[in-house]
Amino acid sequence: MTAGPLSIDDVSKTYAGARPNGAVRALSRVSLDIGEGEFLSIIGPSGCGKTTLLNMIAGFVTPSTGVVRRGAVAIAGPGPDRTMMFQDYALFPWLTVADNIAFGLRAKGLSRRERETAVARFVDLARLKGFEDRLPHELSGGMRQRVSVARALAPDPDIVLMDEPFAALDSLTRDALQEELLAIWERSGKTFVLVTHNIEEALFLSDRVVVMAPRPGRIQTIVEIPLPRPRSPDLRTRDPVFMALKQRLFDLLHDAPQPSEGR
């Protein structure tokens, strides 16, 4: 896959139903450009096609109409330039922290020394020093998610896709991991695309927030986030611009157009 920004061009997706006339139109004519190195979040009510759109960028789902491109090349399937983080960590329970992080590096054909160097770097980056030989069940939820972050970044993808990776965590752990993720993004220069239901999370992390309306899923509006970087944790409670944007996003979601078709 060649380098370049992501371009989602007039994309729609319809899933066939189990019964006649039971098809569900998950996305309708979505167009969006995502710049290289941008942190973009996608929010919206359940059923608005957020995860479908993310899976199209990953190459897991094919559009019914339209095209998703990286640079000038259409995305036709998964590729090493993109990686996905899931809500449930998706770690191999029989592998240690170090081996989980190294998994994608083996697939890239890196030598043992190259893998060890990369693992050491990301163990340090994710603050997992001393836990390299632990199995996932021996870690807290927050630590397992840090392993997931390290494993996603270790193969050096250009684009990191995240499907509500912190949704199952308590608020303190979630806030701490958001801060770590933001620091990693700022150092890496990679493109991050996050699907989340959490308005504060989207605001704290993002350059722009895409607000989607429900079935058929479509973009309601795109909100620029003019908060300075680097961002301090106290933005969440003390910054008047943050609070005003939070209220705006809340109002947009509350007033979103109602589903016009499907279940």
Q: What CATH number is attached to the domain comprising 30?
A: 3.40.50.300
SS3 of 93-110: the string is CCCCHHHHHHHHHHHCCC
CA dihedral for 222, 225, 226, 230, sign (positive or negative):
negative
Q: Inform me whether the pLDDT recorded for 136 exceeds 70.
A: yes
Check whether residue 126 and residue 165 sit in a common domain.
no
Percent over 70 (pLDDT), the chain: 94
Would 141 be classed as within a structural domain? Answer: yes
* Interatomic CA distance for residues 238 and 256, integer angstroms: 27
The mean pLDDT value for 200-208 works out to: 96
The mean pLDDT value for 228-238 works out to: 91
Q: Inform me whether the pLDDT recorded for 233 exceeds 50.
A: yes
For residue 20, the model assigns a pLDDT of 67
Check whether residue 152 and residue 165 sit in a common domain.
no
**Which of 137, 156, 175 is at the close of a domain?**
156
Would 212 be classed as within a structural domain? Answer: yes
For residue 18, the model assigns a pLDDT of 67
Would 86 be classed as within a structural domain? Answer: no
pLDDT in tens, 160-199: 999 998 887 888 888 888 888 888 888 888 999 999 999 9
More confident residue, 184 or 89: 184
The 3-state DSSP composition of the chain as helix, strand, coil percent (nearest 5) reads: 35, 25, 40
Q: Inform me whether the pLDDT recorded for 263 exceeds 60.
A: no
For residue 208, the model assigns a pLDDT of 98
Q: How many domains does the chain have?
A: 2
Q: Whole domain around residue 99: which residue ranges?
A: 91-156
More confident residue, 62 or 3: 62
